Structure 1
Amino acid sequence: MPRWPPPYKAALSLTMDNLGEAQSVLHGTWPHAIGSDPAITTTLPRMLSLLANHSVRATYFAEAWSLPVYPSAVQSLVSGGHEVAWHGYQHEVWSGLREGEEEENFRQSWEVANNEGVRYQGFRPPGGRVNERTWGLLREHGMGYVSPLGKLGVGKERVVVLPFEWRAVDAFWYMEKFAGIRREHGEGEGVLGPKEFGSWLMARVDEVVRTGGYMSVLFHPFLQTSEERLAVMEEVVKRIAEDGEIWVAPCREVAEWVRAHPDEFGSTDTL
């Protein structure tokens, strides 16, 4: 069983992905003015208020393209003690990038991030998979961790792996395009609701505490479109905030702990 900072028995990172319309602009499907995504202008402030009410700090995996588009959102995250991590330049499916495209994505993203005063320390690859060459690029750019599908541990180039799992992602339950992934996980193809997501999350949190593990929970602002969905997030945030056995911390802090205690966590070759 991994050892977490005393007195905690388990660790959990609450995360968010997709800062606005980066992917829609990439694919030419964004029909509104740039910088007007209600998920960021209206929903995100509600989510941040909820987190502040329970003193929970999160990690937001943000596309570099979006940093200058939503500077006030970035500032709100930073001032609230949250981590701003990397989610590609415009949410490109990472495992589908060719070598030159991957290198260019790093270059573009770091240029923008440096201009905006953001120092990325971690990466969640859109689509959940990295390439073999990604490890060296992460090390080259000073990245301490990556958050893909996979296993917790110290990965290649000493980059820490903080995995997520599909069922801990709101999109798995709420979006039609995840039908195939739901089928693979034995949930059928139909869209499910907040009740199912909330029940699974609460049971999973209990399991992680019991086993002394780690989990990453993911809420997308663009999917928090009803009071019922926001209530699931609040229920989970309240649960983890009040449990003295759970270390609730941004990904970068968990990664620092894992890197400092490699013998406790082992190695992983997640791709």
Structure 2
Amino acid sequence: MVTNSERILTTQLGSLPRSDTLLAMLMRIEKGEDIDRAAFRRQVEGDMTEVISKQAEAGIDIAGDGELPRIGFSYYVKDRMSGFGGVSKRGTVSDFAKFPGYAALKMAAVKASAGNDTELEESASLYEMPEAQQEVRYDTELKVVKEELDIFSSALDSTGHEFSRTFISAASPGIVSTTLLRKAAHPAYKDDRDYVMALAKELKLEYDYVVSRGHDLQIDAPDLAMERQIMFSDRPLGEFLARVELHI
């Protein structure tokens, strides 16, 4: 990892806005529709070149690919691993119950961005994430992550800008376990500890590959705070802290 003793190096969060065209393609893929994969790749490459150029213009030192070809920051892994199916029964954010006015504002914003009830229903379906129903396995051929990093490399070459470093974000085993929940009475994992450890073993393939391509690895782990508001909102603090320890 690069350091600097004279100033703080700048970077960005990870996920960057997708174009309307790319969003439409991602939604079609998520709904199981067939799309022109070559056209999808061209769209991702074009959009990624643009966001990398904007990072260069903004003076970013450590650039990322914006996670552009991914449908979500954590549940993208379902497209790179086997063993998932059905729908996870995930809870809602406790802030919505405590502050109904805030919840109403959020829903109004979602409706406004969707445009109509049909689009709202389709958008909501994207949050119906699958659950782990069988033993989870990462694709040993690394097909999807290789494609993403190949596109990133091509986009970096197209801009011609020399960044100090580059990074790729990846979901932590913990956030995957709390968004793609373990099925009750799971045939392979008797409890969440077994599930988290299995995810860690499999996701290591992605982590290692990112580093092997010369990028810094950013592990996204919002579960270390966020799940106090969702999965553990009505449970003792000690249970939440024990889960945090497991995830770390």
TM-score (norm 1): 0.30
- Higher-RCO chain (CA-CA 8 Å, sequence separation at least 6): 1
Choose 1 or 2 for highest CA Rg: 2
